[in-house]
Amino acid sequence: MKTAFITGASSGIGWAAAVALGRAGFQLVLTGRRLERLQELARELGDQVPTHLLTFDVRDRAAVEAAVASLPAEFADVDVLINNAGNAHGLAPIQQGNPDDWDAMLDGNVKGLLYVSRAVLPAMTRRNTGHIINIGSIAGHETYANGNVYCASKAAVAALTKGMRLDLLPHHIRVAEVNPGAVETEFSQVRFKGDTERAAGVYQGYEALRAEDVADLLAFMVTRPAHVNIAEVLILPAAQGAATVIRKE
């Protein structure tokens, strides 16, 4: 049974990806900061899907390295890595931005992806096989007003994905990026620091993507034949034409 390692599995796209990959026949390493949520997910998956839970913050390099090193032998040879953990904090012009928000986004979206990838890659390079999918964003390809640092962090994910694909090509490791548009998850609640009314307003008047829509795509990508790499996907709700252009009824 192949092993998939999913970061940020305690909610949203990560949670849905775990369900989709479990159905596709993978055993799962589920990681996140909220142990009780990971335990709830493992119960939902049931006994048919072997799981191993790791709690750490991707921004903490020592914690990442210790967690990956602790994997039991049956989960240690990771076949698929879904770098999903990330965040958006605030929506302000650069001159009014909060440096703490900047640190959270750059540390989580960029450095966290690097820390996890670096810890997991020896299991792939040793066996000359593997598949990495980085969750980017339309924001990494279209910068929008007040999105400055978040957009920059996701642009970095796009650049890193291309660089990883080149560097890992000799090791037969597929590297890809999925760039969602508007997905209704906890994303906006985090961005707006718990302002549920403002967060809900982001998704009013049209049908946004659901986390399950992105998860279905991920399951399709990782079950393609070994000679196929779906290297980059932009997935939008039908009502979205660009990062900040959405048709509302």
Handedness of CA 134, 137, 142, 147 (dihedral sign): negative
Residue 166's alpha-carbon distances to 13, 16, 174, in angstroms, are 26, 29, 10
Residue 37 is encoded by which pair of tokens? 């949520």
Who contacts 32 (Cβ-Cβ below 8 Å, separation ≥6)?
Answer: 7, 8, 9, 10, 11, 14, 38, 55, 85
Length of the chain equals 249
**Contact predicate 182/208, CB 8 Å:** yes
Active site residue 150: yes
Q: Which of 115, 144, 150, 203 is catalytic?
A: 150
CA distance 94 to 139: 16
Task: Point out the residues that are catalytic.
Answer: 150
